[in-house]
């Protein structure tokens, strides 16, 4: 009986330690990457404002070419929703919605992931003139509520998501610059 009490005490102590530690771990994350594309701002903005074009430059579609996509609304307009469904663990199931657009400057998206885990995040793409071209910044922002934020001690969202964003931007650059 003493052993069981000690074991229960150790388990409760460990759980308490995790929960207390989570109080001091960040709850938000932000990941951004940028690239300069040799094209006019309006040309770049016109291309990225259509969610369906992400199929050509974002890396997730390439991870599973069998991904099923469903669209609702008018692409390139606020309210447009693009849903995806894949059995690939890096793609999963979710949807992306255009929630705000500022012509030739910024597009904001709401991301709702359903599988492999439920989570919401915000994403954006900005364009601005730079050195005779256009600087495009792609960013993701989100939060993980307590106590699930404890996973940020073991996972760096910048390392997880950053390379995919950068590769997508590099793909975007090749696509747009090849049109010139």
**DSSP assignment of 108-153:** EEEEEEEESS-EEEEEEEEEEEETTEEEEEEEEEEE--TTGGGGGG
Does any domain span residue 138? yes
Does any domain span residue 12? no
Closest CA to 97 of 123, 59, 136, 119: 123
Range of the domain at 108: 29-179
Cis peptide before 116 (omega within 30 of 0): yes
Does any domain span residue 81? yes
Does any domain span residue 98? yes
Does any domain span residue 135? yes
Residue 33, φ and ψ in degrees, nearest 5: -140, 155
Does any domain span residue 7? no
Split into its structural domains, the chain has a count of: 1
CATH number at 64 reads 3.30.530.20
Does any domain span residue 129? yes
Compute how many other C-beta atoms are within 10 angstroms of the C-beta atom of residue 38. 13
Does any domain span residue 9? no
Q: What is the mean pLDDT of each run of 10 residues along the chain (180 residues)?
A: 79 71 67 93 95 89 84 95 85 91 96 82 93 93 67 67 90 89
């Amino acid at each position: 009986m003493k052993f069981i009490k000690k074991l229960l005490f150790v388990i409760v102590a460990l759980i308490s330690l995790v929960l207390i530690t989570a109080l001091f771990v960040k709850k938000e994350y932000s990941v951004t990457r940028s690239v300069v594309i040799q094209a006019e701002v309006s040309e770049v903005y016109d291309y990225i404002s259509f969610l369906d074009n992400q199929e050509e430059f974002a890396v997730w579609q390439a991870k599973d070419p069998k991904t099923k996509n469903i669209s609702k609304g008018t692409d390139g307009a606020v309210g447009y929703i693009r849903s995806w469904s894949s059995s690939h663990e890096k793609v999963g199931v979710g949807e992306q919605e255009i929630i705000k657009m500022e012509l030739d400057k910024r597009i904001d998206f709401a991301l709702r992931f359903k599988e492999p885990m439920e989570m919401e995040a915000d994403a954006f793409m900005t364009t601005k003139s730079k050195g005779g071209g256009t600087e495009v910044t792609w960013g993701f922002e989100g939060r993980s509520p307590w106590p699930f934020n404890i996973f940020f001690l073991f996972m760096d969202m910048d390392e997880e998501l950053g390379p995919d964003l950068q590769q997508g931007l590099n793909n975007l650059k090749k696509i747009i610059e090849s049109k010139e």
